[in-house]
Structure 1
Amino acid sequence: MNANNGIISQLSQYSVPVTIDRLEAVLEVKGITIFARIDQQAEAEKVGLSLCPTQLLLFGNPKAGTSLMVAEPTIALDLPLKVLAWEAADGKVWVSYNDPNYLKQRFSLCDELVKNIAIIAPLIHQALSSADRK
């Protein structure tokens, strides 16, 4: 796992679609709302362009997100939470998301509010664990 410019990226042992499928399954069990799943490779193909497998998942908990937006309305630029699964040129699949500490600094959030978005790392860890889910 590495962090760069406020983005945390970690390897996935699964393909891009399976990675996102597994994350969706974890989110559904936790009762977290999935707002959208965007297959950016498919969208590129629609306009005749080529892109390695890339999918973006938007999700969150409106109760937790609303308290963040009440405290700092511009955080809505980064909410709902997003996870990007993407295949690099070398065939490795990565999962990337905003570092909650970066968002804390960017929006001057208190520790209590950061807890509302810090759940992202454990959710991804659970989705990428080797335990068979599907």
Structure 2
Amino acid sequence: MSDLTKAKTPATVEGVITKASPYEIEETLERLEDTIRDHGLRQFTHINHSWEAQQVGLKMQEAHVIIFGDPKAGTSLMVASPLIALELPLKVLVWQSDHNHVWVSYPSVTYLATRYGVPQELITNIAGIDKLVDGVVHA
């Protein structure tokens, strides 16, 4: 049995999808950033929470948030449902749990659509995040 199949799935949180990555954290991050770029999306920033914690003398597991999107697609969502701006651009958390298991977590499109009343015809503007993350965590 591989380490990946032995990895205990983290506790679930409503509206968040978490997938195991078979890659180490740096490779997972590199694959995510490459995939974002290859899909013609804009990476707005990379927040390294673990590094920031270290800067103030604290220690935590590896945790990185990549914020990315397409301003054209996001704008139409925010025009239709202004409060979704709290969730956009999209965010993906790449993090490491016990025993060095790497996970990729991101908001559920269905959850966002329901929570913010996104019109059905605009859901496709953010629905690609599922396939994007699948491409990162699968060979």
TM norm structure 1: 0.92
Residue 131 of structure 2: aligned partner: 122
**Is 2:41 the partner of 1:32?**
yes
Quote the residue 1:51 is aligned against.
Answer: 60
Deviation at 1:115, TM superposition (A): 0.8
* Count of residue pairs the alignment pairs up: 130
From 82, 85, 101, give the equivalent of 1:73: 82
**Aligned pair partner of 1:92 in 101, 107, 121:** 101
- Percent same amino acid among aligned pairs? 42
Q: Distance in 2 between matches of 1:16 and 1:79?
A: 24
Give the ranges of 4+ consecutive aligned residues of structure 1 lying more than 2 Å apart after TM superposition. Answer: 1-4
CA distance, structure 1, for counterparts of residue 111 and residue 132 of structure 2 = 18
CA-CA distance at 1:90 after TM superposition: 2.9
1:14 aligns with 2:23: yes
- Cα displacement (A) at 1:47: 0.3
Structure 1 stretches lacking a partner, 5+ long: none
Which residue of structure 1 lines up, in the alignment, with residue 118 of structure 2?
109
Equivalent residues of 1:27, 1:33 under 8 A apart: yes
- Gap regions ≥5 residues in structure 2: 1-8
2:28–2:136 CA contact under 8 A, matched in 1: yes
Alignment RMSD: 1.4
Q: d(CA) in 2 for partners of 1:49 and 1:40? A: 11
Query: Which secondary structure does the structure 1 equivalent of 2:88 belong to?
Result: coil
* TM-score (structure 2 length as normaliser): 0.89
Partner deviation per Cα, 1:1-53 (whole Å, 9 max, x = no partner)? 89631000000011222211101101111110000001111000000000111
